A and B are shown apart, each in its own frame.
Chain A
Amino acid sequence: MTKSKTLTGGALLFEVLQEHGVQHVFGYPGGAIMPIYDALYDSDVKHFLCRHEQGAAFSAVGYARAAGTVGVCLATSGPGATNLITGLADALADSIPVVAITGQVPTAAMGSDAFQEIDIFGLSLACTKHSFQVTDINELEKVLHQAFEIALEGRHGPVLVDIPKDVQLAEVTQRLDKLSHLKNKVKLPLADISKALDLLTHAKQPILYVGGGVGMANAVEEVRDFAEKTGMPSVSTLKGLGAINPDNENHLGMLGMHGTKAANLAVQESDLLVVVGARFDDRVTGKLDEFAPNAKVIHFDIDTAEINKRRDADAAILGDLKGNLPLLTTELNIADWQQKLKQMNTDFAWRYDHPGDNIFAPAVLKTVSDLMPSNTCVTTDVGQHQMWAAQHMTFDDPSNFLTSGGMGTMGFGLPAAIGAQISRPHDTVIAVSGDGSIMMNVQELATIKRYQIPVKVVLIDNAKLGMVRQWQDLFFDGRLSETDLSDNPDFVMLATAFDIKSKLITKKSEVKAAVEEMLDHDGPYLLQVKIDAAENVWPLVPPNTANDKMMESV
């Protein structure tokens, strides 16, 4: 016998959320979403009130990335909905499964320029994987199930469901039956395994190029196994960091604009790239025509549209990386190549013997990385501190390094850390931020206070928009236009206003004890680290330049 019960649209929403295992949502109430918030009052779903809808969207992204599940955020119509857009765009660029629910003015008022009315359905087209507007209560249950299925199907992404207020209030009988699956319309070509094996066995200088798709395909174990058994030297994109075992002696670190010298030189010299869950992003390739000029390409991806998009593949293997990569595992005779790259790794190792008493940001982040517990989740904002974190911190899983890769969104780090901490309450979560970025979503310190979320914030403070300042110095004749932030607030006082323990350090002799104090503290903590404003991120591949022509100093 089919079970059924009658619910309002708002109540139905939370029933469906719970069917999909959703325990936590992030949001902000308002007029056109009040029936949903009224239903929340009776729901077992835990809601976290963020202090801006953008914070709610980024917390949902952080939650999804840290836990490997779908993140959910709620907002009202009009400005509430538009404030979600940056977070949705970020989720689209980084392929993060998020379901965003927006309230809408009643259907009778739609299209009349009503108070707090905006066409969020139309606005969502360019910043979501898919979107719905539900004008019939009888469609709501099916649409909500489809939203979750689409967010997780194939290449993950954000889905928006816009629900007018009268639909939230309307009553409907919940079917409680299984949803019908979406058609699998993409007929994947046969995997070109034999061609790929031929390329692999003839390669003398192969490189495994690891992207963010590895973690999302839940294929970390398979990629590590492939790297170990083949002995193939590897490089990672920003989002691929953590996929390769940190102890793998053939790993060369991050490639690209701020990649390691060893990684970039190795890729340029390679004769074969085995690309797993990566997309030849412009920040990775530098000048595309000169990227790995002598390399054949084996490209594994779940998304057909990424094959041959920026670099032609000699063998394309579409589909599930977890199942496909083991088919290519074979022993390789590349001892000379391995030895050469190990020597490069040694020759070009990072140095932390920075002169003087001032704090050297890479050394701070290395110290945090060395002292933080295993399975710590680190988020970053965007800028110099982000690149220093990628270069000098070590991560034991991709879900332990959450950074805005594709969109490069300042303001990501703090709310993402909140979401990560809520999804993983027993793990340490550290937000590495900059003095520019943290002000983008500084209101989320109130969310930390409200729920006593024990996020640790390492604030790298150079009183500048440091990355823009670096580019102005290097490429715009030192014309420092609007990058001075010397009038920043007192960050220790600011944290104190939110009942967050905090400390300012200015000398390198203070670093280790301060990091230990931060990590030992049970609750939230903000460590403000003053660094020299003139420090640059090195190496740097200038724009439209081949990756082997990197700058290493001024």
Chain B
Amino acid sequence: MNSMTLNKYQLIIMADDKQVVLERILQVTRYRGFLINGMNAEVNTGNNVATITMSVSSERPISLLIDQINKLIDIKGVKVDNSDVQIKQHSA
């Protein structure tokens, strides 16, 4: 039986309210090896800034994902809300 330790993180992402910004985040998150466990997005219509909260898990360090999301042009900032939750996933 293989044992795989997944670290679980909650990210808070601030982004310009632009076309496909959610698709960009989803694509990068999947491609860089993170599972999305939950997501919420809201737009402040006053300043056209979207706030996206996203729960992800991966064996990989969260810094790898943060750096890649930060590179997206429409992203204003990314931070980890919590970084100490671990879940264990077992596969045969």
B67 near A305 with CB under 8 A, answer yes
* Given A126-B27, A133-B19, CB of A305 within 8 Å of CB of B73: no
Query: Is there a chain A Cβ closer than 8 Å to B24's Cβ?
Result: yes
A47, B13: Cα distance in complex, Å: 42
A281, B74: Cα distance in complex, Å: 27
A122 touches B20 (CB 8 A): yes
Q: Give a binary string over B63-87; 1 marks a CB under 8 Å from any A CB, 0 the rest.
A: 1100110111101110000000000
* A308 sits at the interface (CB 8 A): yes
Counting CB contacts under 8 A, is A116 at the interface?
A: no
CA distance A307 to B70 in the complex (A): 14
- The listed residue (B23, B71, B73) touching A122 by CB distance below 8 A is B23
Interface assignment of A554: CB less than 8 Å from any CB of chain B: no
**What's the nearest-Cβ distance from chain A to residue B25, in Å?**
10
Whether A186 and B27, one on each chain, are in contact in the complex, defined by CB atoms closer than 8 angstroms, is no
> Is A251 part of the contact surface with B, judged by Cβ < 8 Å?
no
Residue ID in chain B nearest A135 by CB atoms: B19
Q: Mark B8-46, 1 if CB is under 8 A from A, else 0.
A: 000000000001100110010001000000000000000
B12 smallest CB distance to A (angstroms): 15
B40 → chain A closest CB, angstroms = 21
Residues of A within 8 A of B63 (CB): 308
- Point out the residues of chain A lying under 8 angstroms from B24, CB to CB: 125
- A307 — which chain B residues lie within 8 A by C-beta? 67
User: Interface size for chain A: under 10, 10 to 19, 20 to 34, or 35 or more residues?
Assistant: 10 to 19
A255 smallest CB distance to B (angstroms):
24
Q: How far is the CA of A185 from the CA of B69 in the complex (A)?
A: 12
Counting CB contacts under 8 A, is A304 at the interface? Answer: yes
Residues of A within 8 A of B70 (CB): 185-186, 304-305
Chain B: CB-nearest residue to A305: B67
A186 and chain B: residue at smallest CB distance: B70
When distances are taken between beta carbons in the complex, the residues of chain B under 8 Å from A303 are 71
Inter-chain CB contacts under 8 Å: number: 34
Who on chain B is nearest to A130 by CB? B73
A182 contacts chain B at the CB level, 8 A cutoff: yes
CB distance from B19 to the nearest CB of A (A): 6
Complexed CA–CA distance, A309 and B67 (Å):
10
Q: Is the CB of A125 within 8 A of B23?
A: yes
- A541: B residues at CB distance < 8 A: none
A150 near B67: Cβ-Cβ < 8 Å: no
Q: How far is the CB of B46 from chain A (nearest CB, A)?
A: 19
Is A498 in contact with chain B by the CB < 8 A criterion?
no
A304 to B72, CA, bound (A): 12
Once the chains bind, are A121 and B27 in contact (CB under 8 Å)? no
User: How far in angstroms is the closest Cβ of chain B from A426?
Assistant: 37
Give the distance to chain A from B28, nearest Cβ to Cβ, in Å. Answer: 9
* Bound complex: CA A102 to CA B48 (Å): 27
CA distance A133 to B20 in the complex (A): 10
CB of B18 to closest CB in A, whole Å: 9
Chain A 307-321, CB within 8 Å of chain B: the 1/0 string?
111000000000000
Give the CA-CA distance A126 to B31 in the complex, in Å: 9
Q: Which residue of B lies closest to A126 (CB)?
A: B27
Q: Please, which residue of chain B has its CB at the minimum distance from the CB of A125?
A: B27
> Is A185 touching B77 in the complex (CB atoms < 8 A)?
yes
Q: Which residue of B lies closest to A124 (CB)?
A: B20
- Is A304 within 8 A of B67, CB to CB? yes
Q: Bound complex: CA of A130 vs CA of B23, how far in Å?
A: 12
- Which residues of chain A are within 8 angstroms of B31 by Cβ–Cβ distance? 126
**Is there an interface contact between A305 and B19, defined as CB atoms closer than 8 Å?**
no
Whether A305 lies near B68 (C-beta < 8 A) is yes
Question: How far does the alpha carbon of A185 sit from the alpha carbon of B72 in the complex, in Å?
Answer: 10
User: Are A182 and B67 in touch, CB under 8 angstroms?
Assistant: no
Give chain A residues whose Cβ lies under 8 Å from the Cβ of B64: 305, 309
The chain B residues found within 8 Å of chain A, CB to CB, are 19-20, 23-24, 27, 31, 63-64, 67-68, 70-73, 75-77
Pull 15 A–B residue pairs with CB atoms less than 8 Å apart, ordered by A. Answer: A122-B20, A125-B24, A125-B27, A126-B27, A126-B31, A130-B73, A133-B19, A182-B73, A185-B77, A304-B67, A305-B67, A305-B70, A305-B71, A308-B63, A309-B67
Q: Top 6 closest A-B pairs, CB basis? A: A305-B67, A130-B73, A125-B27, A304-B67, A305-B68, A125-B24
